[in-house]
Structure 1
Amino acid sequence: MIRSVSRLLSSPAFKEKFYEYKPIEPNLLSLLDHCSNFKHINQTHGFMVTRGLDQDNLLLSKFIDTCSILGFMDYGYSVFSLKTQPDIYLYNTIIKALSKTDYAEEAILLYNRIQIMGFRPDTYSFPSALKAVVHLSAFGVGKQIHGHAIRTGLDSDVHVATALIQMYSACGVILDARSLFDGMNFRDVASWNAMVAGCAKVGDADSACKLFEKMPERNVISWTAVIAGYAQVNRPSEAIEIFRRMQLEDVEPDEIAMLAALSACAHLGALELGEWIHNYIDKLGLHRIVPLNNALIDMYAKSGSIGKAIEVFENMKHRSVITWTTMVASLALHGLGREALQMFSRMEKARIKPNEVTFIAILSACSHVGLVDVGLWYFNSMRSHYQITPKIEHYGCMVDLLGRAGYLQEAKELVREMPFEANGAIWGSLLAASRIHGDLELGESALRHLIKLEPNNSGNYTLLSNIYAALGRWNEVGMVRKEMRDKGVKKIPGGSSIEMNNRVYDFVAGDKSHPQSAGIYEVLYQMNWQLKMAGYVPKECVGPFEYVE
């Protein structure tokens, strides 16, 4: 593409055409500001060529920047390649433009050429090149650029140091990032944000929050990084708490902050709070980007309001493959397997190509409603019709589908034939299926594998214990519980949560730390007693807080 555009730009026909072109707008900067499509870019370039403005590095930089913004980087790079005497400013512009595209490797090559051409990289060169490093995850190259910065004495510049922190964090080398941050003589809000986001990115939400609390100045990016960090490590309650503080301090969230908050709501199933955020988005008039709508669909579905999820979906003007996949998965989650399959048919009619995650949703939908033949057809057509190689997650869905439907022999055969070692999820599906259909031999076999893979997962032991109990084999039940005690496996207490007045309250069995625990237990006692009197709980369960497995 780049070579063909270069030939076009240098051809006599192209030059002859644009020397005849008479532009309507005499001001180049105004022309560039009004460009919105490739035709505009092409005509503006002709305006520059006819007046020799393409030889002005400053004006050419503006042109390339506009190409980058509009997504025509092929054209912009081709124009740059014809420039015989670029200066450092033009080099910085093209490196920055290429750094976050598929031409990131070219950005690194151009950065190296700066020094070959006798220029000295400046405080704009290093951050742009380091963005390319992040895009490529090229940690070795990033270290070399860090060395260049040290040799030029620019490693202490706040912008360069911040870019280095972002690079080390993105490559997972958080200790080096923190060492750079601690050694900075001056830190602006961007450098603080880079360090907070870096900790959040590697899953260290607590360190991110500690840094956040120390920040002398915060902006919306600071708050968003902490909210996203907590949501990422499945600590949604803390994420929502930070979001609430953000409101109290009158910090107006952007789309990215809303995405993080909605993700936390989805984890918690906090419908009231999610609806409030939805209304808040409309109130602020935030641009309804596709990922934001996707997050709303996911939140409503996981919070139990599939109708609202469908409403958001149907009102969307633009939908991505993630949108369709989220909708299929949401319908499957609610046991609406046939509706999920109908949604997938709509997706195909819209000519949206499904991806690997889409098929996990489809196979899950088939599993929920027991459509074994349909599931097998989709599983086999993944490779033949869609050229998608099934992964272990797809095999896991098929094992679950076969196991739930009672095809235990076929499920075991699939596990033997698949090109992967079965993981805990697959053995867990077999263990659950053995409980449903009373296959003790399969249950014991599955548990042996699970103990190796997940030695401290009490749920696996509980499932096998329940199989023995259902068959009246109480000695084996005692042996399972003894094995748990001998291996130090502790049963995780049951928990629940309720949402009230836009707040989510968590409860754990046996926990008395709540300041109103006495009143809570009194209500539980009364409820438990009434259930016993009505015959819903066996009379022999004399304890007011005992739960039947």
Structure 2
Amino acid sequence: MSRADVLPDSYTLPIILKAVCQFFAVEMGRQLHSVAIRLGLVSNEFCESGLICLYSKVGEFETARLSQGGRAKEAIATFIELKRWGFEPDGITMVSVTSACGSLGDLGLALQLHRMSQCNVSSWTSMIVGFAMNGHVNEALECFHCMREAGVRPNHVTFVGVLSACVHGGKVREGKHFFDMMKNVYRITPQLPHYGCMVDLLGRAGLLDEAREMVERMPLKANVVIWGCLMGACEKFGNVKIGESVAKHLQELEPWNDGVFVVLSNIYASRGQWEEVERVRGIMTNKKLAKVPGYSLATNSY
């Protein structure tokens, strides 16, 4: 369709976004997002829902929130006004409002909504994700506890929210517990976002050997995001050995990206290995590496 110079419309994009969501293809999703902006379709409710679904599934909750416009206060005010006029909310409305409560960190109002309506997995997950996204770690985990007590079965998105909360709070023991619970109790197969959270969690805590072991034992092929989390941890703690190993994987995945050389140079510098710093800088100069500018899928030639 693109080769034929036919532009997508409000029917085409949501279908493609649904396929992208199923495969967690976030890079393709970002390109589709740029297409939607170019064509003025980003505010279309179906395109917007597809983008929110994609970013939420891969754990990019801040991006998902921005896709909604970030107007949480207005959403809640509108909901309260509807109640005053006697309108009863449906399931979709309740999910939106509980998500807004999470975005604002308003646990009190979220609990009031829970007394008003029987929460399902979507509304519980919205609150957990919202709390995690805003750094309300304890509230997110308490919400997850209440969800389980209410007999609602969490899904894979729920656990992305829970693990993200653990990352924000540096709760390594809890993160390991929830990761095992997801696999052994609920029989949910971890996807890249879950592994990404765990690698980030372990890396930030300085448990670099555990983080590397998790990446190497993954049944899925690690992407640049996961390797990048580990590389960032190596830079933070000045771990040369693991940093060199991770750098090789990143170079294989993105040979054009000079970021890995910059980070590797910083790791060497933190350890006073100035000869290695010069060697890496020499590689960058010889290859004449440069960052590739972003481009839109609509203008990409095939």
- Structure 2 residue 279 is matched with structure 1 residue 465: no
Equivalent residue number for residue 197 of structure 1? 11
State the 1:324 CA deviation.
1.3
Q: Decide whether the 8 Å contact of 1:259 with 1:295 is kept in 2.
A: no
Q: Distance in 2 between matches of 1:422 and 1:282?
A: 45
Equivalent residue number for residue 410 of structure 1? 210
Which of 66, 82, 96 is equivalent to 1:267? 66
State the 1:242 CA deviation.
7.1
Distance 1:378 1:477, change over 3 A: same
Q: Decide whether the 8 Å contact of 2:247 with 2:260 is kept in 1.
A: yes
Which of 146, 169, 182 is equivalent to 1:369? 169
Count of residues in correspondence between the two structures: 266
Distance 1:236 1:492, change over 3 A: closer
State the 1:294 CA deviation.
3.0
State the 1:433 CA deviation.
1.2
Equivalent residue number for residue 306 of structure 1? 105
Equivalent residue number for residue 383 of structure 1? 183
- CA deviations 1:192-221 (Å, max 9, x no partner) are xx9542255436xxxxxxxxxxxxxxxxxx
- CA deviations 1:99-121 (Å, max 9, x no partner) are xxxxxxxxxxxxxxxxxxxxxxx
Q: Distance in 1 between matches of 2:12 and 2:256?
A: 31
Q: Distance in 1 between matches of 2:47 and 2:94?
A: 10
- Structure 2 residue 255 is matched with structure 1 residue 441: no
Which of 268, 289, 292 is equivalent to 1:488? 289
Equivalent residue number for residue 157 of structure 2? 357
Q: Decide whether the 8 Å contact of 1:258 with 1:277 is kept in 2.
A: no
Q: Decide whether the 8 Å contact of 2:166 with 2:175 is kept in 1.
A: yes
**Equivalent residues in 2 for 1:448-527, closer than 5 Å:** 448-474=248-274, 476-484=276-284, 486-490=287-291
| Secondary structure at the counterpart of residue 33 of structure 2 | coil
State the 1:386 CA deviation.
1.4
- Structure 2 residue 32 is matched with structure 1 residue 233: yes
| Secondary structure at the counterpart of residue 234 of structure 1 | helix
Q: Decide whether the 8 Å contact of 2:101 with 2:127 is kept in 1.
A: no
Distance 1:268 1:466, change over 3 A: farther
Q: Decide whether the 8 Å contact of 1:435 with 1:443 is kept in 2.
A: yes
State the 1:275 CA deviation.
3.6
What 5-or-longer segments of structure 1 have no aligned partner? 1-172, 180-193, 204-229, 245-252, 494-549
Q: Decide whether the 8 Å contact of 1:298 with 1:330 is kept in 2.
A: yes
State the 1:332 CA deviation.
2.1
State the 1:440 CA deviation.
1.5
Q: Distance in 2 between matches of 1:481 and 1:474?
A: 11
Q: Distance in 1 between matches of 2:50 and 2:9?
A: 21
- Structure 2 residue 91 is matched with structure 1 residue 290: yes
Q: Bigger relative contact order, structure 1 or 2, given CA contacts below 8 A and separation 6+? A: 2
- CA deviations 1:20-66 (Å, max 9, x no partner) are xxxxxxxxxxxxxxxxxxxxxxxxxxxxxxxxxxxxxxxxxxxxxxx
Distance 1:332 1:477, change over 3 A: farther
Q: Decide whether the 8 Å contact of 1:434 with 1:442 is kept in 2.
A: yes
- Structure 2 residue 252 is matched with structure 1 residue 427: no
Q: Decide whether the 8 Å contact of 2:79 with 2:97 is kept in 1.
A: no
State the 1:346 CA deviation.
0.2
Distance 1:196 1:333, change over 3 A: closer
Equivalent residue number for residue 298 of structure 2? none
State the 1:408 CA deviation.
1.4
State the 1:423 CA deviation.
2.0
| Secondary structure at the counterpart of residue 399 of structure 1 | helix
Distance 1:426 1:199, change over 3 A: closer
* Identical amino acids, percent of aligned pairs: 33
Q: Distance in 1 between matches of 2:90 and 2:258?
A: 42
State the 1:312 CA deviation.
4.9
State the 1:352 CA deviation.
0.6
Distance 1:410 1:361, change over 3 A: same
Q: Decide whether the 8 Å contact of 2:13 with 2:47 is kept in 1.
A: no
Distance 1:420 1:473, change over 3 A: same
Between structure 1 and structure 2, the one with the greater Rg is 1
- TM-score between the two structures when normalised by the length of structure 1: 0.40
Q: Distance in 2 between matches of 1:243 and 1:384?
A: 39
- CA deviations 1:357-414 (Å, max 9, x no partner) are 2122222222222222222222222232212222333233222222211111222222
State the 1:279 CA deviation.
4.4
The one-letter amino acid paired with 1:290 is: G
| Secondary structure at the counterpart of residue 244 of structure 2 | helix
Distance 1:463 1:236, change over 3 A: farther
State the 1:461 CA deviation.
3.6
Distance 1:456 1:200, change over 3 A: farther
Q: Decide whether the 8 Å contact of 1:335 with 1:369 is kept in 2.
A: yes
Q: Distance in 2 between matches of 1:281 and 1:259?
A: 20
Q: Decide whether the 8 Å contact of 1:399 with 1:415 is kept in 2.
A: yes
Equivalent residue number for residue 331 of structure 1? 131
Q: Distance in 1 between matches of 2:195 and 2:101?
A: 28
The one-letter amino acid paired with 2:146 is: R
| Secondary structure at the counterpart of residue 319 of structure 1 | coil
| Secondary structure at the counterpart of residue 233 of structure 1 | helix
Q: Decide whether the 8 Å contact of 1:457 with 1:489 is kept in 2.
A: yes
State the 1:310 CA deviation.
6.2
State the 1:269 CA deviation.
8.5
Q: Distance in 2 between matches of 1:260 and 1:287?
A: 22
What 5-or-longer segments of structure 2 have no aligned partner? 18-28, 53-62, 295-302
State the 1:447 CA deviation.
1.6
Equivalent residue number for residue 509 of structure 1? none
Q: Distance in 2 between matches of 1:435 and 1:242?
A: 40
